[in-house]
Chains A and B, each alone.
Chain A
Amino acid sequence: DTAVSQTPKYLVTQMGNDKSIKCEQNLGHDTMYWYKQDSKKFLKIMFSYNNKELIINETVPNRFSPKSPDKAHLNLHINSLELGDSAVYFCASSQFAGAEAFFGQGTRLTVV
Chain B
Amino acid sequence: AQSVTQLDSQVPVFEEAPVELRCNYSSSVSVYLFWYVQYPNQGLQLLLKYLSGSTLVKGINGFEAEFNKSQTSFHLRKPSVHISDTAEYFCAVSEVNDYKLSFGAGTTVTVRA
Contacts and interface: CB of A to CB of B under 8 A. Distances in A.
Contact of A42 (B46, B94, B98, B105): B105
Contact of B96 (A58, A92, A98, A103): A98
A98 B32 contact: yes
B101 A33 contact: yes
A27 B2 CA distance: 27
A90 B32 contact: no
B108 to A, nearest CB: 8
Contact of A48 (B43, B88, B97, B100): B100
A interface residue count range (under 10 / 10 to 19 / 20 to 34 / 35 or more): 20 to 34
Given A41-B88, A100-B46, A105-B43, A50 B99 contact: yes
B90 A43 contact: yes
Interface string A55-81: 110100000000000000000000000
Interface residue SS majority, chain A: strand
Nearest to B34: A100
B74 interface: no
A45 interface: yes
B43 A103 contact: yes
Nearest to B102: A45
B42 interface: yes
Contacts of A43: 44, 90, 103, 106
Contacts of A83: none
Interface string A68-112: 000000000000000000000010101001111111111000000
Interface of B: 32, 34, 36, 38, 42-46, 49, 51, 88, 90, 94-103, 105-106
